[in-house]
Amino acid sequence: SAVISQKPSRDICQRGTSLTIQCQVDSQVTMMFWYRQQPGQSLTLIATANQGSEATYESGFVIDKFPISRPNLTFSTLTVSNMSPEDSSIYLCSVVPSGGTHQAVEQYFGPGTRLTVT
Protein backbone atom coordinates (compact mmCIF):
# COMPACT_ATOMS: atom_id res chain seq x y z
CA SER A 1 0.00 0.00 0.00
CA ALA A 2 0.96 3.67 -0.01
CA VAL A 3 0.56 6.53 2.43
CA ILE A 4 -0.98 9.55 0.77
CA SER A 5 -1.39 13.06 2.09
CA GLN A 6 -3.34 15.93 0.63
CA LYS A 7 -3.16 19.63 1.31
CA PRO A 8 -5.27 21.50 2.16
CA SER A 9 -7.72 19.20 3.90
CA ARG A 10 -10.45 21.77 3.41
CA ASP A 11 -10.88 25.31 2.19
CA ILE A 12 -13.55 27.90 1.65
CA CYS A 13 -12.93 30.04 -1.43
CA GLN A 14 -14.59 32.91 -3.19
CA ARG A 15 -15.94 32.48 -6.68
CA GLY A 16 -13.55 33.52 -9.41
CA THR A 17 -10.46 32.49 -7.48
CA SER A 18 -8.29 29.39 -7.93
CA LEU A 19 -7.13 26.73 -5.49
CA THR A 20 -4.23 24.32 -5.90
CA ILE A 21 -4.47 20.98 -4.14
CA GLN A 22 -1.36 18.96 -3.45
CA CYS A 23 -1.03 15.19 -3.29
CA GLN A 24 2.10 13.62 -1.82
CA VAL A 25 2.84 9.89 -1.71
CA ASP A 26 5.43 8.22 0.50
CA SER A 27 6.71 6.01 -2.33
CA GLN A 28 7.01 6.04 -6.08
CA VAL A 29 3.78 5.04 -7.76
CA THR A 30 2.84 3.97 -11.24
CA MET A 31 -0.32 5.96 -11.66
CA MET A 32 -1.94 8.95 -10.01
CA PHE A 33 -5.52 10.01 -10.52
CA TRP A 34 -7.70 12.91 -9.48
CA TYR A 35 -11.36 12.37 -8.63
CA ARG A 36 -14.25 14.54 -7.61
CA GLN A 37 -16.90 13.38 -5.18
CA GLN A 38 -19.91 15.50 -4.40
CA PRO A 39 -21.56 14.85 -1.02
CA GLY A 40 -23.34 11.53 -0.98
CA GLN A 41 -22.34 10.79 -4.54
CA SER A 42 -19.99 8.45 -6.34
CA LEU A 43 -16.49 9.18 -7.51
CA THR A 44 -15.99 10.86 -10.87
CA LEU A 45 -12.59 10.62 -12.50
CA ILE A 46 -11.27 14.02 -13.55
CA ALA A 47 -7.96 13.00 -15.07
CA THR A 48 -4.93 10.77 -14.98
CA ALA A 49 -1.82 12.65 -13.89
CA ASN A 50 1.06 11.58 -16.12
CA GLN A 51 4.60 12.02 -14.93
CA GLY A 52 6.50 14.39 -17.17
CA SER A 53 3.68 14.95 -19.65
CA GLU A 54 0.24 16.46 -19.92
CA ALA A 55 -2.56 14.89 -17.92
CA THR A 56 -5.21 12.79 -19.64
CA TYR A 57 -8.63 14.29 -19.01
CA GLU A 58 -11.99 12.55 -18.91
CA SER A 59 -14.99 13.73 -20.87
CA GLY A 60 -16.37 16.91 -19.36
CA PHE A 61 -13.12 18.04 -17.80
CA VAL A 62 -10.63 20.36 -19.48
CA ILE A 63 -7.10 21.47 -18.77
CA ASP A 64 -7.96 25.15 -18.58
CA LYS A 65 -10.35 24.50 -15.71
CA PHE A 66 -8.38 21.75 -13.95
CA PRO A 67 -4.68 22.10 -14.72
CA ILE A 68 -2.67 19.22 -13.32
CA SER A 69 1.03 18.82 -12.74
CA ARG A 70 3.04 15.75 -11.89
CA PRO A 71 6.72 16.65 -11.76
CA ASN A 72 7.85 13.31 -10.30
CA LEU A 73 6.59 9.88 -9.26
CA THR A 74 5.49 10.91 -5.76
CA PHE A 75 3.79 14.28 -6.17
CA SER A 76 0.95 15.88 -8.11
CA THR A 77 -1.14 19.02 -7.97
CA LEU A 78 -4.65 19.78 -9.15
CA THR A 79 -5.76 23.38 -9.60
CA VAL A 80 -9.42 24.28 -9.64
CA SER A 81 -9.50 27.50 -11.66
CA ASN A 82 -11.98 30.35 -11.78
CA MET A 83 -14.14 28.62 -9.21
CA SER A 84 -17.91 28.75 -9.02
CA PRO A 85 -20.24 27.28 -6.37
CA GLU A 86 -20.74 24.26 -8.66
CA ASP A 87 -17.12 23.33 -8.00
CA SER A 88 -17.89 22.74 -4.33
CA SER A 89 -16.95 19.13 -3.80
CA ILE A 90 -14.43 16.76 -2.30
CA TYR A 91 -11.36 16.30 -4.45
CA LEU A 92 -9.41 13.08 -3.99
CA CYS A 93 -6.15 11.88 -5.39
CA SER A 94 -5.54 8.18 -5.75
CA VAL A 95 -2.55 6.08 -6.68
CA VAL A 96 -1.73 2.69 -8.08
CA PRO A 97 1.47 1.52 -6.38
CA SER A 98 4.42 0.48 -8.48
CA GLY A 99 5.35 -3.14 -8.79
CA GLY A 100 1.91 -4.52 -9.41
CA THR A 101 0.79 -6.46 -12.42
CA HIS A 102 -1.64 -5.10 -14.95
CA GLN A 103 -4.29 -7.11 -13.15
CA ALA A 104 -3.47 -5.74 -9.71
CA VAL A 105 -4.73 -2.21 -10.08
CA GLU A 106 -6.24 -1.48 -6.71
CA GLN A 107 -6.21 2.20 -5.93
CA TYR A 108 -5.30 3.90 -2.69
CA PHE A 109 -6.96 7.17 -1.93
CA GLY A 110 -5.78 10.26 -0.18
CA PRO A 111 -7.88 11.76 2.63
CA GLY A 112 -9.46 14.27 0.26
CA THR A 113 -9.79 18.04 0.09
CA ARG A 114 -13.20 19.46 0.93
CA LEU A 115 -13.75 22.59 -1.14
CA THR A 116 -16.56 25.05 -0.60
CA VAL A 117 -16.98 27.92 -3.05
CA THR A 118 -19.07 30.86 -1.93
Partner 1 sequence: GQQVMQIPQYQHVQEGEDFTTYCNSSTTLSNIQWYKQRPGGHPVFLIQLVKSGEVKKQKRLTFQFGEAKKNSSLHITATQTTDVGTYFCAGKTGGGSNYKLTFGKGTLLTVNP
Can you list the positions of beta strands (E) in 2-109?
Answer: 4-7, 10-13, 19-25, 29-37, 44-49, 56-57, 68-72, 75-80, 89-97, 108-109
Q: Assess 41 for contact with partner 1 (CB under 8 A).
A: yes
Q: In whole angstroms, how close is the CB of 94 to partner 1 at the nearest point?
A: 8
Q: In whole angstroms, how close is the CB of 27 to partner 1 at the nearest point?
A: 16
Residue 104 DSSP SS3:
coil
* Interacting positions 73-102 with partner 1 (CB under 8 A): 92, 94, 96, 102
Cβ distance to partner 1 smaller for residue 85 or 104: 104
What does DSSP assign to residue 85? G
Give the distance, in angstroms, between the CA of residue 22 and the centroid of all CA atoms in the same chain: 8
Where do contacts with partner 1 occur on this chain (CB under 8 A)? 30-31, 33, 40-45, 48, 59, 92, 94, 96, 102-112
